[in-house]
């Protein structure tokens, strides 16, 4: 093979010595070898022997050090600074909101206790950042080789939650492992996106029972989540899955229609079997029907937002009383504490984050990476948009937290893991096969 020729080997080694990203070396070597082979064959056609032709080809490529430096600039790992900045902004906003909430809780409170929420939020943010950095350096393409292992782990985890899980509000939710409690339905949407991005492209390329394969892949997850009665997790699975399906097939209208139809069907069945959620939906549509019952929270949300004003009530102000203000309604509380201007600022950051997600998707060349970025981003964006609208009373309560901001140890880790994977994909966006080429061949 050409790579075993001494002149070629020395040339490739000198080029790669200037390129710090070792992950880029195999791709660069392959492309340079291909180019050298073409030059050598051209020389051989003029009567030169193989050894002479290869030496001539190497000479035509130019200074290997200069080529290496040019390729290093091209393939240097890149950090999506804009996306990272928005994540830091969200985390900071969430820490301030939880701190304000803790300041308003009496020291003698038996529910949370002084600074318990704040310290837990700091711990989740710190551990989440560590996980994000670790995944940033992790070669994400290895996840594609683990597709079916991840799918098996996902299904086994959901089965364990269903039969052995600790119930929350009547629904199995947490999987107990020693002293740890894992919100397995919460992680299911992110795991399922890894599975979908790993197998759907190959299935679509084969065009062999593509529809039936999709049903077989989706049905067990949907069924187990339905049995666990975790509506938010189910919604996020469907949103993420059909986004990946649209990205793979490019049939966005069909994917959107299937997603909307699935969501409507599931929600209708859920409402029919759960009177509590039905009452909450009716209260959203008409709060006056039960202003002291199911509609009470919607009244309190409106009053709390109105009381915030443009600049808010400040830290340590008396707490308004409504449920879930530390979790899915933390944005409502933040409007009360920090004011409408802070809320508008957060909404602007959300729009900027969406633009950075789209930028990352557009820049990535690897198909698996593109589908993965879009699927994970769709889950986070849906949560962001739905929670903000829900928090101001424009959408019914669904129990979806505000990513990176709401109190919640485990969902913070899952969301930071998703960001770590997206940053890892962007870091390697120029490492797809065929991306490396000679920088100064003459």
Q: How many CA atoms lie within 13 A of 198 on its CB side?
A: 19
**Residue 171 — very low, low, confident or very high, per pLDDT cuts 50/70/90?**
low
Nearest to 157 by CA among 194, 131, 182: 182
pLDDT digit string (tens) for 238-270? Answer: 999 999 999 999 999 989 898 888 888 877 777
Cβ contact 236:382 at 8 Å: yes
Residue 234: CB partners within 8 Å, gap ≥ 6? Answer: 222, 225, 226, 266
**Neighbouring-strand partners of residue 168:** 171
* pLDDT in the model for residue 434: 40
Report the DSSP beta bridge partners of residue 166. Answer: 174
The pLDDT mean for the chain works out to 86
The whole-angstrom separation of Cα 183 and Cα 34 is 50
**Two tokens, residue 212:** 């039936």
Would you list the DSSP string of 66-86?
HHHHHHHHHHS----HHHHHH
Residue 154 CA to residue 148 CA, distance in Å, equals 10
Radius of gyration of the chain (CA): 27
Closest listed residue to residue 235, CA positions, set 281, 173, 189, 285: 189
CB-CB contact of 123 with 161 (8 Å): no
Distance, CA of 71 to CA of 329 (rounded, Å): 49
Q: Which string of DSSP letters, residue by residue, matches 402-436?
A: -TTTSS-HHHHHHHHHHHHHHHHHHHTTT-STT--
Whether the CB-CB separation of 210 and 201 falls below 8 Å is answered with: no
pLDDT band at 168 (very low <50, low <70, confident <90, very high): low
Does residue 331 register a pLDDT over 50?
yes
User: Taking CA 394 as the corner, what is the angle to CA 391 and CA 396, rounded to the nearest 5 degrees?
Assistant: 75
The predicted-structure confidence for 277-329, as pLDDT tens digits, reads as follows: 777 777 777 776 666 666 677 888 888 899 999 999 987 777 777 777 888 88
| Strands of 171-177's sheet in order across | 166-168, 171-177, 180-183
pLDDT level of residue 214 (50, 70, 90 thresholds): very high
Q: Under DSSP, is residue 439 helix (H, G, I), strand (E, B) or coil?
A: coil
Q: How far apart are CA 217 and CA 161, in angstroms?
A: 19
Higher pLDDT, 432 or 207: 207
Asked if residue 150 has pLDDT above 80, the reply is yes
Distance between CA atoms of residues 21 and 113, nearest Å: 49
* 77-128 tens-digit pLDDT: 889 999 999 999 999 999 999 998 888 765 444 444 446 788 989 999 999 9
Q: Which residues contact 419 (CB under 8 A, 6 or more apart)?
A: 83, 87, 132, 380
d(CA 217, CA 267): 21
What are the sequence ranges of the domains in the chain? 2-75, 81-427
Q: Using alpha carbons only, give the angle 233, 364, 83 rounded to the nearest 5 degrees.
A: 60
- Give the separation between CA 246 and CA 271, rounded to whole angstroms: 28
In this structure, the strands spanning 180-183 and 166-168 are unpaired
| Per-residue tokens: 416 | 């930071």
Residue (of 7, 96, 95, 126) closest to 56 by Cα position: 7
> For helices 231-249 and 184-206, what crossing angle results, to 10°?
20
Per-residue model confidence as pLDDT tens digits over 383-442: 999 999 999 989 988 889 999 999 888 899 999 999 999 999 999 887 654 443 333 333
Cβ atoms 400, 411 nearer than 8 A? no
What sections of 104-208 are H helices per DSSP? 116-137, 142-145, 147-164, 184-206
What whole-number distance in Å separates Cα of residue 253 and Cα of residue 239? 14
Q: What is the pTM of this model?
A: 0.87
């Amino acid at each position: 093979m050409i790579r075993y020729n001494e002149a070629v080997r020395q040339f490739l080694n000198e080029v790669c010595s200037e390129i710090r990203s070792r992950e880029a070396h195999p791709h660069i070597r392959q492309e340079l070898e291909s180019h050298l082979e073409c030059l050598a064959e051209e020389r051989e056609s003029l009567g030169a022997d193989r050894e002479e032709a290869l030496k001539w080809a190497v000479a035509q490529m130019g200074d290997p050090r200069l080529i290496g430096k040019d390729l290093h600039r091209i393939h240097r790992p890149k950090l999506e600074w804009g996306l990272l900045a928005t994540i830091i902004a969200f985390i900071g906003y969430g820490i301030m909101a939880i701190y304000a909430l803790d300041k308003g809780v009496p020291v003698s409170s038996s529910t949370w206790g002084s600074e318990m929420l704040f310290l837990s939020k700091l711990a989740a943010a710190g551990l989440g950042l560590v996980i994000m950095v670790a995944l940033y350096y992790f070669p994400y393409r290895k996840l594609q080789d683990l597709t079916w292992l991840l799918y098996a782990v996902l299904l086994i985890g959901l089965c364990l939650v269903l039969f052995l899980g600790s119930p929350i509000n009547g629904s199995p939710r947490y999987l107990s492992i020693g002293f740890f409690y894992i919100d397995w339905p919460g992680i299911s949407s992110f795991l399922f996106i890894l599975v979908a991005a790993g197998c759907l492209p190959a299935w679509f390329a084969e065009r062999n029972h593509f529809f039936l394969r999709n049903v077989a892949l989706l049905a067990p997850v949907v069924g187990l989540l339905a049995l666990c009665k975790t509506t938010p997790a189910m919604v996020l699975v469907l949103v993420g899955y059909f986004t990946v399906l649209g990205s793979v097939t490019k049939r966005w209208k069909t994917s959107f229609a299937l997603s909307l139809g699935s969501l409507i069907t599931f929600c209708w069945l859920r409402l029919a079997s759960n009177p509590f959620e039905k009452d909450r939906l009716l209260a959203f549509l008409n709060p006056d029907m039960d202003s002291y019952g199911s509609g009470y929270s919607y009244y309190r949300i409106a009053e709390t937002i109105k009381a915030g004003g443009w600049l808010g009530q400040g830290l340590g102000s008396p707490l308004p009383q409504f449920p879930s203000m530390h979790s899915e309604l933390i944005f409502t509380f933040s409007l009360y504490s920090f004011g409408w201007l802070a809320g508008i600022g957060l909404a602007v950051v959300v729009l900027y984050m969406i633009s950075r997600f789209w930028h990352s998707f557009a820049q990535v060349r690897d198909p698996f990476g593109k589908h993965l970025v879009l699927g994970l981003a769709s889950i986070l964006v849906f949560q962001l948009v739905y929670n903000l609208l829900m928090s101001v009373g424009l959408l019914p309560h669904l129990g979806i937290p505000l990513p990176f901001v709401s109190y919640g140890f485990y969902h913070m880790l899952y969301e930071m893991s998703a960001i770590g994977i997206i940053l890892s994909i962007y870091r390697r966006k120029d490492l797809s096969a065929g991306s490396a080429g000679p920088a100064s061949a003459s």
